[in-house]
Amino acid sequence: MSLPMVVPDPTLPSAVTIYEVGPRDGLQNESAVVPLNVKAEFVRRLVAAGLPIVEATSFVHPKWVPQLADAAELVERLDLAGSTPLPVLVPNERGLDRALAAGVTHIAIFGSATETFARRNLNCSMDDQYKMFAPVVARARAADLDVRAYLSMCFGDPWEDVVPVEQVVGAGQRLLDLGATQLSLGDTIGVGTAGHVGALIEAFGAGGVGVDRLAMHFHDTYGQALTNVLAAMQAGVTTFDASAGGLGGCPYAESATGNLATEDLVWLLTGLGIAHGVDLEALVGISVWMAEQLGRPSPSRVVQALAPTND
């Protein structure tokens, strides 16, 4: 397998953490139910390929996300005591109850930076979302669980258009103030650009939130994901969400191509000499296998270039 020529940039971080979201964010919008054994194997293979964090599933009510109705059964099949964290998304206290009963040690909550998306996705106002999350985070932290907070619509909203930077910073600060240890800033519809990324990170810094507490979650709807990763690294961010094979779509934009593909991110990091710990050949093989399970090719450009059928 070919790899890019390594040309290090001393101005960039020496290492990056890839937060793999394929099993949860990548699969949640699949219309055909993916078998439980396939999901479990997917997670295990991603861990074996060196992904340092693999978000496994979500304890959301099956009515809202039927694809993840088997969350409890999936978690039972995974090694929660292993060295690789396997977080689960929890929407509310009922979801937390299920996570605690399953022995989960890392959870995530999912908030909105805009009023419209909060009402459409969380069925509550922006202010009320914090009231909903407060007991979840408090109880999770009391139980020694790590809590990550996702913040969606940070760069644009299909109903509200441009989202003011100060509005995003305020929403993110409130989630961190609840007790979350990390804040993942989501470009949910993929409209962000490099300058916007830098301005948002700078604004968080001015508000007292350092880059060590931030992660970035980019979608490649307009082909800007890797450019935005580079801009974020130039600003000091070292944690990036990605989905193996580019799994996952955005239901809020017709042209959305989904999450940043983990393989594409690994290729960029490898060429820059930035440590990431992921076996690219193994990862490509995993995405080819998962594409076969789903019955369609992977949208990842790196998978398309390096898949065995293209050798």
Distance CA 88, CA 96 (A): 9
| CB-neighbour burial class of residue 131 (10 A; exposed 0-12, middle 13-18, buried 19+) | exposed
The DSSP code for 161 is B
Tally Cβ neighbours within 10 Å of residue 161.
9
8-state DSSP, 173:
H
198 neighbors 230 (Cβ within 8 angstroms): no
- Using an 8 Å Cβ cutoff, are 226 and 240 in contact? no
Give the integer Cα–Cα distance in Å for 185 and 227. 16
Amino acid occupying residue 63: K
Q: What is residue 102's three-state secondary structure? A: helix
Looking at residue 292, its amino acid is E
Residues 6+ apart with CB under 8 A from 10: none
Known catalytic residue: 154?
Answer: no
How many Cα atoms sit within 13 Å of 159 on the Cβ side?
12
One-letter amino acid identity for 309? T
Among the options 247, 250, 266, 307, which is catalytic?
Answer: 250
Catalytic residue positions, numbered: 250
